[in-house]
Amino acid sequence: MSRPSDEERFWGKVHKSDTCWLWTGQTDSDGYGVFMMRRAGRSSPQRAHRVAYEFTHGENPERHVDHICRVRACVNPDHLRDVSNAENVLGGIGPTAINARKKRCNRGHEFDAVDSRGWRSCTTCRNEKRRERRAKQRAALPVGGETDDE
């Protein structure tokens, strides 16, 4: 009796519904499915969604495999796409993605400039901060050129 192939073992651990196909095997601490892939006589842990992508697209993705549905345990090939790291991060729900989608500063002004670090900024707020800083500097100067030594 021969052992089942990796692909047979893999799809045996998938619960298919009308939407997401949920991985029922082992998951890691982040909720991604883990599958032990046998290659060259050795087993190595692989992320289940990447294995699903490879089985259905016939290629090992060189970049990130993104879950369009945002369900980490999903291995539905229709919910997976090969993307760059930037696309993966910016398409997510983390702080970087949330901030990248913002169009206005915390005071409601539109972002209308980019600083030397490449960060978006609001000219109105930047000018207000400069005026406040200059006012504090002027207030700290001695009046009429007097010093404490006199």
Rounded Cα distance between 61 and 41, Å, is 22
- Mean pLDDT in residue range 103-121: 88
Instruction: Assign 140 a pLDDT band (cuts: 50, 70, 90).
Output: confident
Entry pTM: 0.68
Q: Is 131 a residue whose pLDDT tops 70?
A: yes
Ordered by start, the domain boundaries in the chain are: 1-101, 102-142
- Please, what is the Cα angle at 15 between 21 and 82, to 5 degrees? 25
Q: What pLDDT, on the 0 to 100 scale, is given for residue 11?
A: 96
- Find out whether 80 and 52 touch, Cβ atoms under 8 Å: yes
Q: Determine whether 67 is exposed, middle or buried from the number of CB atoms within 10 Å of its CB (0-12, 13-18, 19+).
A: buried
Give the closest residue to 25 by CA, choosing from 33, 36, 16: 33
Rounded Cα distance between 21 and 32, Å, is 13
State the distance between the two ends of the chain, measured CA to CA, in whole angstroms: 103
Does domain 1-101 bear CATH number 3.30.70? no
Instruction: Name the average pLDDT for the chain.
Output: 89
Please state which of the ranges 14-23, 38-47, 100-109 shows the lowest mean pLDDT.
38-47
> Quick check: helix, strand or coil at residue 71?
coil
